Structure 1
Amino acid sequence: MKQKRAFPADPIGRYRELLSEKEAALLESSLINPAPTAIRVNPLKAEPRQLSEEMSHKYQWDLQPVPHCRDGFTMTSSLIPPGHTLEGRLGYFYIQDAASMLPVELFEPVETTEPLILDLTASPGGKTAHLASRFHDRGLILANDGTSSRIPALTSTLKNWGAACSAVTNFPGERFGQWFPETFDLVLLDAPCSMENLHPGEKNKRDIKPPERSRLAQRQVQLLMSALQACKVGGQVVYSTCTLAPEEDEGVVDTILRLTGHAVTITPAAQRLGVQAPGLESAFGQTFSPETVKSLRLWPHRLRTSGFFSAHFRKNSSLPGQSRESPTRPYLPSHIIPLGRKDQEFLISHFAANYGVDLTNLLEGQALTLGLFKQSVYLLPHILENSFAGLPVNSSGLRLGDYAESGFEPSLEWTTRYGKLITGNRYNLSPDNFLRWSRGEDVPYENAVEPARGTILVMISPEGYVAGTGRMSSRGIKNLLPRHLALKS
């Protein structure tokens, strides 16, 4: 017999005194059922409304738009979980709590077509991917995380999302303000926190003691100061946490406003998004700046999300601070090198002839260059070399494909990212063959004119989306999907 979820005697705990009796009752009631699953569609790969409708029909999902994110949808019911679909595994959408979609949406449009963006504590990369799609994968996103063990998850997310104009670094976020003062148009700090979001579905939560909470708040202030120093005058910084602890939320904002004076202002971004979730003016005996009410505090019962906090800052003038030289590394043969002219000409001809893609147009449109690493060719953001030459990066750009015995083979991440441009060597999968393909199985070739053996085909789902690549063989089409992406039978 299935046991009911066990709740603590008072699931709200110390937060009860921050709410009216009515709101506390609403909050307690909302914790009985966790916030619904939500997805954010990747507009770099698909039109969000269209894909949401197609997936709703295909997988029997009941999707409702997220009010503060045009690409987001909450899932009130589903026959098949979103993580058990090939579209999800190929980066057509990202599973993310609706509250976590808020920070990137707080940024206002920028005037430049090639913004410099810093994500200071980026892993696992959901918000970084959101930045890439929100700003059309142009310019450069420097996605940093200070913990080396978290870098693989970040790199994987950006690869799966198709973020070509990005680079991943592994440095303490506190140093960027000194290394790159007044450099970035936009800076996102989704800060490490106590994670007190009152989400009933999360296991292994532990009590946070006051000394630890104090240390967290001190580090958050240091990171936010670094973010503000790295931001250009006139630029924007968004601060967010997945905790409702005032010490880490309004308390940090209050400290920053006192330290920076008129150099930094907090903006009433909630009005622009139509979200009613004002920050606190006081908590647990501490009174905050009146400006903190302009921040956003998402109690779980307000928008049926996990608990969350965010604030949008505008930098008005320079901040004092000592600049230091950023780290560099010497050239090594193992690094990516510029692709030679003849190789570039070959690839331009190859992609035009085989896939109908004007590679020159693509490169110029996103200010990308081509680089070679071993047998792989990468699309690289030109601005990375111009503005951050020599900066040690863990990864950068998007893999275009690989030189193989049979010729040049386009990568899975390139074909899914730029599938809308591909007109040649496409193969349409029937619904039955799509199911087989999703499980990693080979499928028969059923068209009248058979291409040459070894030809790399771009496989198209019944809805018209790239579902991977396959190699033509004497037995049909060999499935080239990586095993970890294939669905279990």
Structure 2
Amino acid sequence: MNLPQTFQEKMKNLLQEEYDAFIRSYEEEKNQGLRINTLKISIDEFLQMNPFTTEKIPWVKEGYFYPGNERPGKHPYHEAGLYYIQEPSAMAVGELADPRPGERILDLCAAPGGKTTHLASEMRGEGLLVSNEIHPQRAKILSQNVERMGIQNAIVVNETPERLAVRFPGFFDRILVDAPCSGEGMFRKDEEARLHWSPENVALCARRQDEILDHAQSMLKPGGRLVYSTCTFSPEENEGTISRFLEKYPNFEIEQVEVYEGFSPGRADWVEKAAPGIEKTIRIWPHLVKGEGHYIAVLKKVDGDEAPRIKYAKSKLDPKMLKAYQQFAGETLNRTPSGNFIAFHDQLYALPEEAPALDQLKVLRPGLHLGTFKKNRFEPSHALALALSGEDAKNVWNLPADSEEILAYLKGETLQAGGPKGWYLMTVDGYSIGWGKLAGNVMKNHYPKGLRWMG
């Protein structure tokens, strides 16, 4: 592998006797992982029907390695949101964030969604998750992954940390900053990261991280937890960033968290003026575990000002739209999602409980998308289907994962079917995957055109 020469010299100076083992790790295959989505399926249930060759990842209870010759991203279970494909080391971040049901949590740099969906599964649908991504195209991918995993209590926004900090002082119980970085830990799997690396970019990333943390800390409640992570080896962006932060904000301290076999402590000797307790931070090395490079610091806000009162979102709905939704729900559902209903043009959403007011923010997904109001009738969304279980719908049409019918459905084809007319929750081996609408003996396909399989 063609690694930047200056990077190699830097790592040799840092690692010394470990350097040869580190460099040899680049000749090995990258490790693949999937994380079971416990919002939709339990670990035991998934393992009983698991079609892949998997091996437990030690540092995350829902995580499993799979071999590079298998393709879980091309399986119907992936479309049903039963798991998220995620780099194994990256799963440690959500685990150490340790979110709790009922909390208010912010994922500040959230795309493409691996860590957000991990946080959501631990929250079990209770509390508020705000997932932010500053880049519009990446924010759309984040929103799609939130939808696929059936998450109901997340708001997806496309904002700067600065604007969010103005709106949410002292508001969150936990904040995750998976910071933009020089990406050294991803060199084995990402050629772009190798091509764009330079010492100047490392310094630029470190300055950007300082700014992001400035805004993040102001949004955390006293007693709250701030988790900082990168996928780089660079001390300037890791121990250096945390040390600079703690010097500026002495009301924070580094927390001791569980350290798994192969994880290494932060290095005080790699930076000037290392913060006390920097060895409690965590480094993950590709020559010591089956994963790429990562750095994680867990910080506690010891004291600070209590949050001022903020405005909460209010239900805003055209009575005609509400009536159309209620008619649909009465005919189709055994359970309706909770939360305040709010309309954005002709789109209906269920806001999470305690959702803040969202005016003047760039919002991609203000909660669970329920559907669209079309000419005095309501058409359910794909997001609603993925948030439901088979017990939630009155009419269910199940397709086995190894059947021709599920492939036809995912390609957007109509199916021959019989039964009462109306909306059907389509499932794969009992797990929701989309909508169909039965008329006569034809199940009309409502799987979204942009998600349909080709060929």
Mapped to 1, the partners of 2:255 and 2:287 lie a distance apart of 24
What is the CA–CA distance in structure 2 between the aligned matches of 1:398 and 1:168, rounded to whole Å? 10
| Counterpart position of 1:310 | 296
Could you tell me which amino acid in structure 1 is paired with residue 293 of structure 2?
G
Kindly report which structure 2 residues correspond to 1:134-283, keeping only aligned pairs within 5 A, or say none: 134-197=122-185, 199-204=187-192, 205-206=194-195, 208-261=197-250, 263-271=251-259, 276-283=263-270
Take 1:180 and 1:427, find their aligned partners in 2: how far apart are those partners? Answer: 44
Give the deviation of 1:191 after TM superposition. 0.8
Question: Secondary structure at 1:303's aligned position in 2?
Answer: coil
Quote the Cα distance in structure 2 between the aligned partners of 1:176 and 1:409: 33
Distance 1:198 1:345, change over 3 A: closer
Question: Cα–Cα, structure 1 residues 237 and 421, in superposed 2: closer, same or farther, change >3 Å?
Answer: farther
Alignment match, 1:468: 434
Is the CA contact 1:129–1:161 (under 8 Å) kept in the aligned structure 2?
yes
Pick from 78, 85, 88: which aligns with 2:78? 88
Q: Which moved more, 1:421-430 or 1:220-229?
A: 421-430
Sequence identity (%): 27
Q: Is the 8 A contact 2:321 2:376 kept in 1?
A: no
Structure 2 CA distance, aligned partners of 1:485 and 1:85?
13
Contact residue 440 and residue 479 of structure 1 kept, 8 A: yes
Task: Give the deviation of 1:289 after TM superposition.
Answer: 2.9
Q: Which string of whole-angstrom CA distances, capped at 9 and with x for unpartnered residues, describes residues 219-240 of structure 1?
A: 2112112212210000000001
The residue aligned with 1:299 is 285
Counterpart of 1:443?
A: 415
Match of 2:317 among 323, 339, 347: 339
| Letter aligned with residue 444 of structure 1 | Q
Once residues 428 and 212 of structure 1 are traced to their aligned partners in structure 2, the CA distance between those partners, rounded to angstroms, is 51
Instruction: Rate the CA distance shift 1:219–1:375 in 2: closer, same or farther, 3 A.
Output: closer
Code of the residue aligned with 1:476 in structure 2: it is: V
Structure 1 residues 411-450: aligned runs within 5 Å: 411-430=381-400, 431-445=403-417, 447=418, 450=419
Deviation at 1:206, TM superposition (A): 2.5
Go from structure 1 to structure 2 and tell me whether the alpha carbon gap of 1:456 and 1:178 turns closer, same or farther (over 3 Å shift): closer
Aligned residues: 450
**2:368 maps to 1:398:** yes
Post-superposition offset of 1:259: 1.7
Residue matched to 1:458: 425
Q: Which residue of 2 aligns with 1:19?
A: 15
Deviation at 1:86, TM superposition (A): 2.6
Question: Paired residue for 1:380?
Answer: 351
Question: Which residue type is aligned with residue 451 of structure 2?
Answer: L
1: CA distance, partners of 2:386 / 2:97: 27
Cα RMSD for the two superposed structures: 3.0
CA distance in 2, matches of 1:372, 1:41: 32
Contact 1:241 1:310 in 2 (8 A): yes
One-letter code aligned to 2:329: F
| Alpha-carbon offset, residue 192 of structure 1 | 0.9
Cα 1:406–1:432 change in 2 (3 A) is farther
> Within 2, Cα distance between the matches of 1:235 and 1:120?
15
Determine the C-alpha separation between the residues in 1 that align with 2:96 and 2:404: 43
> Counterpart amino acid of 1:236?
R
Which deviates the most, 429-438 or 117-126?
A: 429-438
The match for 1:74 among 25, 45, 65 is 65
CA distance in 2, matches of 1:478, 1:43: 30
What code does the residue aligned with 1:214 have?
Answer: A
How far 1:207 moved relative to its partner?
A: 5.3
**CA drift at 1:150:** 2.9
Residue deviations 1:383-438, cap 9 Å, x none? 22xx4353524221111123446953332211121124424111122523223223
Q: 1:35–1:52: structure 2 CA closer, same or farther, 3 Å change rule?
A: farther
Counterpart CA distance in 2 for 1:474 and 1:406 is 23
User: CA separation of 1:210/1:199 partners in 2, compared to 1, >3 Å: closer, same or farther?
Assistant: closer
Call closer, same or farther: CA 1:103–1:7 in 2, change over 3 Å: closer
Q: Say if 1:434 and 1:172 are closer, same or farther in 2 by CA, change over 3 A.
A: closer
Q: Aligned partners of 1:296 and 1:174: how far apart in 2?
A: 27
**Does the Cα contact within 8 Å between 2:134 and 2:159 map onto a contact in 1?**
yes
Structure 2 unmatched runs, 5+: none
Distance 2:220 2:352 in 1: 20
Counterpart residue number, 1:32: 27
* SS in structure 2 at match of 1:194: coil
Q: 1:241 to 1:356 in 2, by over 3 A?
A: same
**Structure 1 residue ranges without an equivalent (≥5):** none
**Residue 12 and residue 426 in structure 1: after superposition, are their counterparts in 2 closer, same or farther (change >3 A)?**
same
What is the aligned partner in structure 1 of residue 333 from structure 2?
355
Q: When the two structures are superposed, what TM-score results if normalisation uses the length of structure 1?
A: 0.83
**Given residue 185 of structure 2, which amino acid in structure 1 is its aligned partner?**
N
Find the aligned partners of 1:240 and 1:8 in 2 and give their Cα distance: 23
Task: Work out whether residues 337 and 373 of structure 1, in 8 Å CA contact, stay in contact via their aligned partners in 2.
Answer: no
2:46 is aligned to 51
- Secondary structure in 1 matching 2:182: coil
Report the CA distance shift for 1:198/1:14 in structure 2 as closer, same or farther (over 3 A). Answer: farther
Equivalent position of 1:481 in the other structure: 447
